[in-house]
Amino acid sequence: MPHYARETTVSVQRTRGEIEQVLERYGATGFMYAWQNNAAAIIFEMHQRRIRFILPLPNRDSREFWYTPSRGTRRSDAQAREAWEQSCRQRWRALALVIKAKLEAIETQITTFEDEFLAHTLLPNGSTVGEWIQPQLEETYRDGRMPPLLPGPSPEK
C-alpha cells in the first residue's frame, strides 16, 4: 500500500466533502461526484472549464484484503472489509492532497490553472485532454514528427 495516509481514519465521505469545500473556496462554480464498480469520479467547473479526475478504487476481492501480508493468513469478512476501506480512504486522501496542492500552487502563482489541470480538462466529446493527446504523443515520439495542429492537409503537400 502507498505510504501517504496509509493509516488515515478520515472517512471517504469526509474527504469528498473536504475536496468540495476546497474547490468552492478556490472559486469552483460546480461540483459533481459519481462512482461505478472500482472507480470514483469528481468533476468540477472552474475558470470556464470542466475538470474530471477518475480515482481508481481497489477491488474488494483482491488477495491483499483477504490475506495478511506477513503470513498469508485468511482474514475474516470484517477484517477484509476494513482493509479494503482503509485502502479507499488512503486513495481519497491522496486525491485531496493533489487537488489542494495544485490549487495552492496556482494561487501563489507558481504555475497556472491550465498547466495544472490541462490533462484533466474535459473536451466536448467527454474525453479529457490527456486521453486525447496520449496516443498522439506516443506516435510523435515513435516517428519523430509532430502531428498537425489542426486537421486538414499537411502544409508539406
| Confidence (pLDDT) at 112 | 98
Residue 10 has pLDDT above 70, yes or no: yes
pLDDT number for residue 152:
55
**CA nearest neighbour of 129 among 117, 113, 143:** 117
Question: CA–CA distance from 31 to each of 57, 65, 96, 105 (Å)?
Answer: 20, 32, 14, 21
Residue 151: the pLDDT is 58
Query: pLDDT digits over 33-50, tens only?
Result: 999 999 999 999 999 999
Tell me the three state secondary structure of residue 146: coil
What pLDDT was estimated at residue 83? 94
Sequence-distant (6+) residues with CB within 8 A of 121 are 49, 50, 51, 128, 129
Closest CA to 117 of 19, 47, 33, 56: 47
Task: For CA atoms 98, 99, 101, 102, give the dihedral sign.
Answer: positive
Question: What is d(CA 100, CA 22) in angstroms, rounded to the nearest whole number?
Answer: 7
More confident residue, 20 or 2: 20
* Over residues 52-70, mean pLDDT: 94
Q: What is the pLDDT of residue 157?
A: 47
- DSSP assignments along 40-65, one per residue: EEEEEEETTEEEEEEEE---TT-HHH
Q: What whole-number distance in Å separates Cα of residue 52 and Cα of residue 75?
A: 36
> Where residue 9 falls among pLDDT bands split at 50, 70, 90?
very high
Evaluate if residue 105 carries a pLDDT over 70.
yes
Helical segments of the chain, H only: 12-25, 63-66, 77-107, 113-117, 129-143
The whole-angstrom separation of Cα 137 and Cα 130 is: 10
pLDDT digits (tens, 9 = 90+) for 69-99: 889 899 999 999 999 999 999 999 999 999 9
Write out pLDDT tens, residues 111-150.
999 999 999 999 999 999 999 999 888 888 889 888 776 5
Reply yes or no on whether the pLDDT at 32 is more than 90: yes
